[in-house]
């Protein structure tokens, strides 16, 4: 069947849902396609370095989520769903009711040059746009479907125009392409409410491969950014052959790790096991420090809460927060892919423009400290972050990103043994302003910020050149955080740096090279303060690291008269700003729940809930508890305040610990929600573990 005839079938079918249930063979996707064979590629380290070079240098890119979902913009049948680009799935819309949105796609304000210029002016070096999201709609005119821009009143080739505009602005154009596809008649698994017959995984993969071939041949994307790989139908073998196919068509392409099945949840890095993918993809989070060097990763993040456009989502991060996130990511050797969700007319939301322009003003003066830099040589700097780049002649340039200037204006670089190339550092935004004194203090270098230095409230960048690549002795590590304990334990002490030796004390005194314990384990059997320090050729380097361990007696369990399952709850109505206000409010309703959650919430906003009962502790020891809530919450066990997460705030997790004997203990959780999002999650961690998990329902009694 020709595409014209196929389109006709669709137009007839689209007039009524029942008529649209055409079998996939006669839908508007060609029935079957010959497979394209992929051969695995061999690549040397040098070839890989050359291929990744532009991407590693770029550090900052723009993500664009745009498609039919911008038309409902999160609303469906007059209701605010919050579903954004997931609306088909979150509202359980039948594909036949969703696909006609294409007849309304007419974004008359779409201006690809403006989009590319906004990205460029924000300091972004690449742009990743959704060729196809999970809803299956294609933003380019594809030979292989009519569910594409050609099937809309708009008819323009969005991908082609945007790619041309990006190239004209020097921004590398790239594509996001979803594996999961809720409308393609061959994609499996089906949504539960999608009653269309048929489906054939192999045929779907062939279709996807032909579309990828079309996209690569026609547009030449710098990155292919896959997503939606987690439904069981997509296998490791599919990941391998798709990666190999894509690189086989254009060996220069960089492919993210979601092409295969090796991604570790939202943290996004690739697990061991030979999975395909050139970089890890943390989503909405930034990894903690300490990633192994040479691992490529990119954090993708929204500016507000949604990827696709939703007018009512005004929970935007501040410009300062976004710039600092970029700096934090660069200091850890990663890239930042920051999202914009244009609206149904093709406009960037005003809030997003404002932030991109603000970030661009910072980048206009400080981009050198981001583009082409490497991660920080320091594990942790209390005043900010550090990035660096090589200097011709073998030296290294450090960019000191001052977020919070210390009160004494001394920017300390702990354990930095390399000598400065000049006796002065300078402001990146104003090199002519004159130098800032750099002095050695033992193993540390200290830059003094003169009074009156114009500080950038977002991030003031200082430049410090070194004679050689930074050599930093790391401080000692003490494996266990300060806290309380019941049973004796041993704590490991050490330095990741083999060139230093470690000395420790347990009596509160400063360790010296001759008198301190020379041991990598300390037995903790009573209340003590462990202090430890590194020595380089007998001379102390870096600061003293200290932990305090306090031996406590576990609180005895109680033996209530008669216990039942569940935990009692009460709700309150009112504009509370602290859990303490619940004490003066009238009870609205009460009941019993099997666990601590918001299933009984009386309304969306301005309410409170308290839970009272017992928690059954399985074994004696120090138990951790955490409350993740929006807004405030507190947890009391007996009469101790174990977790204080009170006050007005967005989703925030806090934790605390208490020593308890096995058995029942009285527990009380207070929670309130003012306005906006609401959430309440209670978890615990067993003695000796720092992993928090939900408390099994059978542990709640009353």
Q: Which is nearer to ligand H79, 175 or 530 (CB)?
A: 175
Question: Among residues 145 and 281, whose Cβ is nearest to ligand H79?
Answer: 281
With respect to ligand H79, which residue has the nearer C-beta, 266 or 437?
266
* Dist. CA 161–CA 482, nearest whole Å: 57
CA distance 77 to 81: 9
Q: Count CA atoms closer than 13 A to 94's CA, side-chain side.
A: 12
Question: Closer CB to ligand H79, residue 85 or residue 150?
Answer: 85
Taking the chain, what is the end-to-end CA distance rounded to the nearest angstrom?
A: 68
Q: Single out the residue of 340, 342, 329, 341 nearest to residue 369, CA to CA.
A: 329
Q: CB of 85: closest distance to ligand H79 in angstroms?
A: 5
- Smallest distance from ligand H79 to CB 687, Å: 29
* Residue keyed to tokens 């999201």: 133
Residue identified by tokens 């490529």 is 296
* Minimum distance from residue 158 beta carbon to ligand H79 (Å): 17
Round to whole Å and give the CA distance between 448 and 412: 9
Which residues neighbour 508 within 8 Å (Cβ) at sequence distance 6 or greater? 529, 531
* CB of residue 122 to ligand H79, shortest distance in Å: 19
CB of 346 to ligand H79, least distance (A): 19
Q: Could you tell me how far CA 562 lies from the centroid of its own chain? A: 46
Q: Select from 594, 624, 597 the least CA-distant residue to 696.
A: 594
Q: Which two tokens stand for residue 334?
A: 């990663």
Q: Which helix (H) or strand (E) holds 567?
A: strand 567-573
Tokens describing residue 531: 């202090």
Q: Measured from the CB of residue 445, what is the shortest distance to ligand H79 in angstroms?
A: 41
Give 230 or 312: the residue with its C-beta nearer to ligand H79.
Answer: 230
In 3-state terms, what secondary structure has residue 326?
Answer: helix
- Torsion, Cα 41 42 45 46, to 10 degrees, reads -80
The residue (of 510 and 653) whose beta carbon lies closer to ligand H79 is 653
The contacts of residue 557 (CB under 8 Å, 6+ apart) are: 617, 660, 661, 662, 663, 664, 665
* Closer of 226 and 485 to ligand H79 (Cβ): 226
The single residue listed with the structure tokens 């892919």 is: 337
DSSP per position, 43-80: --HHHHHHHHHHHHHH-EEEEE--SGGGTTTTEETTEE
Cβ nearer to ligand H79, comparing 38 with 267: 267
Backbone angles phi, psi at 134, to 5 degrees: -60, -20
Which residues bind to ligand H79, rule: CB under 6 A? 65, 85-86, 227, 230, 265-266, 283, 300, 307
Q: How far is the CB of 81 from ligand H79 (least distance, A)?
A: 14
Judged by CB, which is closer to ligand H79: 265, or 647?
A: 265
Smaller CB separation from ligand H79, 263 or 702: 263
> Closest distance between ligand H79 and the C-beta of residue 225, in Å?
8
The nearer residue to ligand H79, 76 or 426, going by C-beta atoms, is 76
Is residue 431 within 8 A of residue 465, CB to CB? The reply is: no
What tokens appear for 426 in the block?
A: 């300078």
């Amino acid at each position: 069947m020709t595409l014209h005839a196929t389109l006709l079938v669709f137009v007839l079918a689209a007039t009524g849902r029942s008529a649209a249930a055409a079998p996939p063979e006669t839908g508007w996707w060609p029935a079957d396609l010959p497979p394209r064979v992929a051969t695995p590629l061999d690549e040397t380290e040098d070839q890989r370095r050359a291929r990744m070079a532009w991407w590693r240098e770029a550090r900052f890119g723009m993500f664009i989520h745009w498609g039919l979902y911008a038309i409902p913009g999160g609303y469906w049948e007059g209701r605010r769903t919050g579903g954004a680009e997931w609306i088909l799935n979150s509202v359980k819309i039948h594909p036949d009711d969703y696909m006609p949105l294409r007849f309304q796609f007419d974004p008359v304000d779409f201006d690809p040059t403006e989009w590319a210029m906004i990205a460029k002016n924000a300091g972004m070096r690449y742009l990743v746009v959704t060729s196809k999201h999970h809803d299956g709609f294609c933003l380019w005119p594809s030979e292989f479907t009519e569910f594409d821009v050609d099937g809309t009143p708009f008819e323009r080739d969005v991908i082609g125009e945007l790619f041309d505009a990006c190239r004209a602005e020097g921004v590398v154009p790239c594509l996001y392409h979803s594996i999961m596809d809720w409308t393609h008649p061959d994609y499996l698994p089906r949504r539960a409410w999608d009653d269309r017959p048929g489906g054939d995984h192999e045929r779907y993969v062939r279709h996807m491969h032909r579309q990828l071939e079309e996209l690569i041949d026609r547009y030449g994307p710098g990155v292919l950014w896959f997503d939606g790989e987690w439904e069981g139908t997509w296998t490791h073998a599919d990941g391998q052959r798709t990666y190999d196919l894509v690189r086989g068509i254009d060996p220069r392409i960089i492919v993210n790790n979601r092409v295969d099945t090796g991604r570790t949840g939202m943290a996004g890095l690739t697990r061991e096991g030979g999975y395909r993918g050139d970089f890890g993809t943390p989503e909405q989070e930034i990894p903690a420090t300490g990633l192994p060097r040479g691992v490529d990763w990119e954090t993708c993040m929204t500016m507000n809460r949604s990827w696709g456009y939703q007018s009512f989502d005004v929970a935007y991060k501040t410009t300062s927060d976004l710039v600092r996130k970029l700096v934090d990511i660069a200091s850890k050797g990663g890239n930042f892919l920051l999202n914009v969700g244009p609206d149904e007319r093709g406009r960037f939301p005003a809030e997003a423009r404002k932030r991109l322009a603000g970030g661009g003003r910072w980048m206009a003066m400080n981009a050198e400290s981001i583009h082409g830099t490497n991660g920080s040589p320091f594990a942790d700097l209390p005043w900010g972050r550090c990035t660096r780049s090589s200097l011709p002649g073998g030296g290294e340039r450090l960019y000191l990103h001052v977020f919070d200037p210390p009160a004494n204006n001394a920017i300390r670089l702990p354990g930095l043994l390399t000598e400065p190339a000049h006796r002065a550092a300078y402001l990146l935004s104003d090199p002519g302003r004159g130098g800032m004194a750099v002095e050695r203090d033992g193993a540390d270098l200290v830059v003094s910020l003169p009074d009156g230095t114009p500080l950038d409230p977002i991030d003031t960048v200082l430049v410090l050149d070194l004679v050689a690549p930074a050599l930093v002795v790391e401080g000692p590590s003490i494996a266990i955080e300060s806290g309380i304990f019941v049973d004796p334990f041993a704590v490991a002490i050490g330095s990741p740096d083999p060139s230093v030796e470690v000395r420790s004390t347990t009596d509160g005194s400063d360790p010296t090279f001759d008198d301190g314990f020379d041991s990598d384990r300390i037995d903790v059997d009573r209340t003590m303060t462990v202090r430890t320090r590194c020595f380089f050729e007998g001379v102390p380097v870096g600061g003293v690291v200290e932990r305090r361990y306090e031996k406590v007696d576990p609180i005895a369990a109680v033996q209530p008269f008669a216990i039942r399952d569940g935990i009692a709850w009460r709700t309150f109505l009112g504009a509370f700003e602290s859990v303490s206000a619940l004490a003066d409010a009238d009870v609205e309703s009460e009941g019993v729940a099997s666990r601590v959650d918001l299933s009984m919430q009386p309304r969306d906003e301005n309410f409170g809930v308290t839970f009272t009962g017992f928690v059954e502790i399985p074994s004696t020891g120090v138990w951790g508890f955490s409350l993740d809530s929006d807004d405030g919450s507190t947890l009391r066990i007996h009469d101790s305040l174990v977790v204080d997460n009170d006050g007005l705030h967005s989703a925030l997790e806090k934790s605390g610990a208490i020593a308890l004997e096995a058995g029942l203990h009285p527990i009380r959780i207070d929670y309130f929600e003012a306005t906006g999002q609401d959430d309440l999650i209670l978890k615990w961690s067993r003695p000796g573990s720092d992993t928090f998990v939900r408390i099994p329902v059978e542990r709640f009694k009353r």
